Structure 1
Amino acid sequence: MSDDISKASAEAVAAARQSEQFAMMLAAMEAARAVQPPTCQHQAPAPKSSGSAGKWLAVGVGGSVFMVALALSAVAVAISAVALTVCLLVLRSVWQDIQKGRD
């Protein structure tokens, strides 16, 4: 029985030491928390936009001018193709008339 009592007393002493160590750790954590500056609670200002509406307006106008120029050049290519076709048909007809005259 004295073995059980000495074993229990050794465990009680170990538990007391552990509780003292735990108390010291908590005190150290509280001291570290007290040293840290408080965190800032106000909101940071939103970043300012640098003329995004004007930029998009310029992109829209520039894109529109580009598309109009592209459309006009497509019309010019189409007119040129029609004129070239008519010219080739006339020249073919003239060539055929020349060939009939030789025979």
Structure 2
Amino acid sequence: MSDLNKASQDAIDAAANSEQVALVLAVLQAQQITQAQQAPVPPAPVVQQSGGAAKWIGIGLGGSALLLAVAVSAVAVAISAVALTICVLILRSVWQDLRKG
């Protein structure tokens, strides 16, 4: 093979290689474009922890204080009702004594 034939064959091979490289680059660019157009994947939902023991101890103490306040209020209402009943009975007795003369 002469140098001219060898050079022309090398030029043909180079042209074919550059066409293949251009085709591969076009495919890669098309893949990048389609990946950019796809919607991003949403992140996985984050599971929140329920809290520690201190939270539940606080809830227990708060609930106990609330129930204690309700109980004291109920006792106060009961004492007030008894006192009012005694006052009404005494006033009724006094009124009857005044009417009898």
Matched, 1:81 2:86: no
Letter aligned with residue 81 of structure 1: A
Partners of 2:99 and 2:76 lie apart in 1 by 34
Equivalent positions of 1:34-73 (< 5 A) are: 49=49, 51-73=51-73
Amino acid at match of 2:91: L
1:11-53 deviation per Cα after TM superposition (whole angstroms, max 9, x unaligned):
xxxxxxxxxxxxxxxxxxxxxxxxxxxxxxxxxxxx6746421
Residue in 2 aligned with 1:95?
Answer: 95
TM-score normalised according to structure 1 size = 0.50
Q: RMSD of aligned C-alpha atoms?
A: 3.5
Q: Which runs of 4+ in 1 moved over 3 A?
A: 47-51
**SS of the residue aligned with 1:80?**
helix
Instruction: Give, in whole Å, the separation in 2 of the partners of 1:57 and 1:85.
Output: 42
> How many residues are treated as equivalent by the alignment?
69
Can you give the 5+ residue segments of structure 2 that lack an aligned partner in the other structure? 1-46
Q: 1:54 Cα shift?
A: 0.9
